[in-house]
Amino acid sequence: MPARIQQLILGLGKAKQTNISTAATSFLRFKKLDMALTTPKPVFENDAAEIGKGHEFISQTFPSHYDVANRIEKYASAEFATWVCAYGLGNVAVTGTGAPYTYTIVPIDPGTTLELPYFSIVEHVAEGGGSAIDNLHIGCAIEDFTYQFNYGPGRASSKMTVNWAGTGLLTSPSAVVVPATLAENNMLAGGMSLTVNGVDYVSTKRILSGTIGWKNNLMLNAGFYPGSGLQNGLQVRGRMEVGARATSFQFTTRLLAGSTEYATLVAQTTGTAVLTVQHDASNSVTFTFPQMAFQVVENTEADGIVAVSVTGAPQYNITASNVMSVVALCGIGGIAGSGA
Amino acid sequence: MSEQHVEGAASKAVPKVFLRHPLTGDVQEVDGIPAAMIPWLGQGYVQFTPAAPPKGA
């Protein structure tokens, strides 16, 4: 009996793993938009290129390593955005004794650590009274994430996409009981505010769309170090360190007489950029770039309306000690924490 | 009037949060609000809960 993709049950580890090889014990069950299933992909090499065999074909294969990665595309909810930013940036402080919890999140300091908090991912697909898929991926880290907003109605106006990678450590069957689907508080773009370099783009009704991005550039090959470990005779990663990280902020706004974007670009004026999107007062996410200039300003159009597309150049701010910070409010405590 | 005002302000005192640098061990007690915590977190400090002092201490 075949299984439908809609039967996928996706559980994301809530509390961070105690170490890279010990699975999380608490999970949050999310819905998602994309249909990508995770494959615990074992990689094998062969001897086709080796000489001395008397032919150019494969005569033998050899186990190499596991390579696990996937993406999650979702409407942006306060809960998922908190989860993504907490694991994607890495240094998290939580305040509040009850909902809403306030998560203050900044990128990890590479002078302190190069490793993000690790999480576990479980995927179940029921089939024929059993499971077509029942995998627990242990020791995962976020490669990059994007928050995207657009004009237009509904949840599609506010989305998040995350790419993650794993060590290859796998438990199958998972033996994980995933909780009920989380009741998420979606944050529509209609609940957004945006101020960049002193310009309030929402009160002037100019903002159209934009993206905020973060990329950790994980050093995945360096995870296969001597002694990193084996599973079924294939290498698994023993660490996943951040590489040269990068952040981005791009937005498109209607172009008016007196618009300051081009002048800001030419003068290379720097200022703060703050984007907040909320479901309500208890469920929101605020991205703050403490210091940002404009890198590119291009005239364009959107639905026939003259517009301008701005690519920001976020800068590290010494006073704030970061290039980007996130403050998230949601009703779920313990995300990326050390508890259960 | 002024005493009532002071009392009201005290009741809204911001809880403190402890942040510790994992390498130096330096501990900072800061207001538990993002603006106060972010500069320390950016320098690598991490949130922690200090152990309760032993009874009688």
Q: What is the 3-state secondary structure (H, E, C) of A123-150?
A: EEEEECCEEEEEEEEEEEEEEEEEEEEE
Q: Look at residue B3 in the predicted model and tell me its pLDDT.
A: 46
pLDDT band at B2 (very low <50, low <70, confident <90, very high): very low
Write out pLDDT tens, residues A253-302. 999 998 899 999 999 999 999 999 999 999 999 999 999 999 999 999 99
What pLDDT, on the 0 to 100 scale, is given for residue A210? 98
* B30/A contact by beta carbon, under 8 A: no
Q: Tokens 């960049």 correspond to what residue?
A: A196
- Tokens (6 digits) for A302: 């959107």
CA distance, residue A134 to nearest chain B CA (Å): 35
B47, A94: Cβ pair inside 8 Å?
A: yes
Is some CB atom of chain B closer than 8 A to the CB atom of A320? yes
* Cα–Cα nearest to A159, from A128, A180, A189, A125: A189
Closest chain B CA to residue A107? B42
Q: Residue A148: which residues within 8 A CB-CB, separation 6 or more?
A: A158, A159, A160, A161, A209, A210, A211
* Model confidence at A22: pLDDT above 70: yes
Comparison of pLDDT for A130 and A136, the residue scoring more: A136
Q: What is the pLDDT of residue A20?
A: 97
B1 to chain A nearest CA, in Å?
A: 31
pLDDT of residue A29: 97
Q: How far is CA A38 from CA A91, A136, A155, B29, in A?
A: 27, 10, 25, 43
Which pLDDT score is estimated for A340? 54
> What residues in B contact A325, CB-CB < 8 Å?
34, 38, 41-42
Angstroms from A281 CA to nearest CA on chain B: 16
Question: In angstroms, rounded to a whole number, what is the distance separating the alpha carbons of residues A180 and A256?
Answer: 48
Residue holding tokens 């998602």? A32
Whether B37 sits inside 8 A of A113 (CB atoms) is no
Give me the residues paired with residue A181 across strands.
A29
Q: Chain A within 8 Å of B56 (Cβ-Cβ)?
A: no
Region A170-194: what's the mean pLDDT? 96
Of the candidates A139, A141, A137, A140, the residue with the CA atom closest to the CA atom of residue A172? A137
Cβ contacts of A321 on chain B, cutoff 8 Å:
38-43
* ipTM confidence score: 0.92
> For B10-43, what is each residue's pLDDT tens digit?
446 889 999 999 999 999 999 999 999 999 999 9
Model pLDDT, residue B53: 64
Q: How far is B14 from chain A (nearest CA, A)?
A: 11
CB < 8 Å to A113, chain B: 22, 44
Beta-carbon pairs below 8 A across chains A and B: 54
Contact of B21 with chain A, judged by CB distance below 8 Å, is answered with: yes
